[in-house]
Amino acid sequence: MKAQESKRQRRKAERPAELLEAALEVFAEKGFAAARMDEIAARAGVSKGTAYLYFESKEDLFRALVQDRMLLIFTPLEQAFETYEGSSRELLEMLLARFCIRVLGTKLAALPRLVIAEVGHFPELAEFYRRNVIDRGLGFLSRIIARGQARGEFRPGNPDHFARLFVAPVLLSAIWRACFDRFDDEPFDFAAFIETHRKILLSGLAPEPERGKQ
């Protein structure tokens, strides 16, 4: 009987994560409004009613999903590079590599599109995303770039703009994966594209005397 109970307990503990996982799938495929609770519950292997035991509403489920996954991405990134002491250029290169692995290669690539799509429907969520993800991420990158400028690694200019230039091709890739990859026989080669991005951007960011060394 204990075994059964603990099995139940384990099930109970896993339910929210299983539902979030299923929700990510379905939201990614259908968008918020078109996603049906029936299908999310079914993919999580439970009945519709059960989903409501863990999340108050479809909106609640959506919010929980976004917050959960976004923290999942940022926290380790920030922590890992908090104490970094090498060159800023290499820091950016490592971040780019990380991004490709942690986001573009997974279902998470669907999240930006999802948030973008539902801004109108979830202003509070958009604000949360703006504050906790974008501002946080761009701020993080800006500090790295400012550090590089101070060290003479990068040309002068608005660090926030540079940060956005750094992010833009990654965003484009995520959107491409989520939206348009399906129409090609072989998927777009993100790694090669991001590698090109790395070369061009770092070349463009280099201070005048050092340009051309990529």
Partner DNA sequence: AATGAATGAGGCTTCATTCAT
Partner DNA sequence: CATGAATGAAGCCTCATTCAT
Single-letter amino acid, residue 190: F
Choose which of 71, 80, 101, 119 interacts with its own copies (CB under 8 A): 119
- The maximal CA–CA distance of the chain, rounded, in angstroms, is 74
Q: Give yes or no for residue 50 binding DNA (CB under 7 A).
A: yes
**From 56-64, 142-150, 173-181, 202-210, span contacting DNA (CB under 7 A):** 56-64
The DSSP call for residue 83 is T
How many whole angstroms separate alpha carbon 137 and alpha carbon 214? 26
Among the listed residues 166, 60, 178, 56, the one whose alpha carbon sits nearest the alpha carbon of residue 117: 178
Q: Which does 168 bind (CB under 5 to 8 A by kind): its own copies, DNA, none?
A: its own copies
- Cβ contacts of residue 210 below 8 Å, gap of 6+? none
Q: Give yes or no for residue 168 binding its own copies (CB under 8 A).
A: yes
User: Under DSSP, is residue 186 helix (H, G, I), strand (E, B) or coil?
Assistant: coil
Q: Give yes or no for residue 178 binding its own copies (CB under 8 A).
A: yes
Report CA 64 to chain centroid distance, whole Å: 15
Cα dihedral 92, 98, 99, 101 sign = positive
Choose which of 17, 53, 71, 119 interacts with DNA (CB under 7 A): 53
Smallest distance, its own copies to C-beta of residue 112, A: 9
Q: 36: left (phi > 0), else alpha (psi -120 to 50), else beta? A: beta
Choose which of 25, 31, 43, 52 interacts with DNA (CB under 7 A): 52
Smallest distance, its own copies to C-beta of residue 161, A: 4
Q: Which does 175 bind (CB under 5 to 8 A by kind): DNA, its own copies, none?
A: its own copies
Among the listed residues 51, 100, 95, 50, the one whose alpha carbon sits nearest the alpha carbon of residue 77: 95
Which positions from 28 through 47 interact with DNA, judged by CB under 7 A?
Answer: 34-38, 41, 46-47
Q: Give yes or no for residue 10 binding DNA (CB under 7 A).
A: no
* 74, 133 contact by CB (below 8 A): yes
Task: Kindly list the residues in this chain that would bind DNA in the complex (CB under 7 A).
Answer: 4-5, 7-8, 11-12, 15, 34-38, 41, 46-50, 52-53, 56-59
Site residues (vs its own copies, CB under 8 A): 28-34, 113, 115-121, 123, 126-127, 130, 134, 157-158, 161-162, 164-165, 167-169, 171-172, 175, 178-180, 182-183, 192-193, 196-197, 199-205, 208-209, 211-212
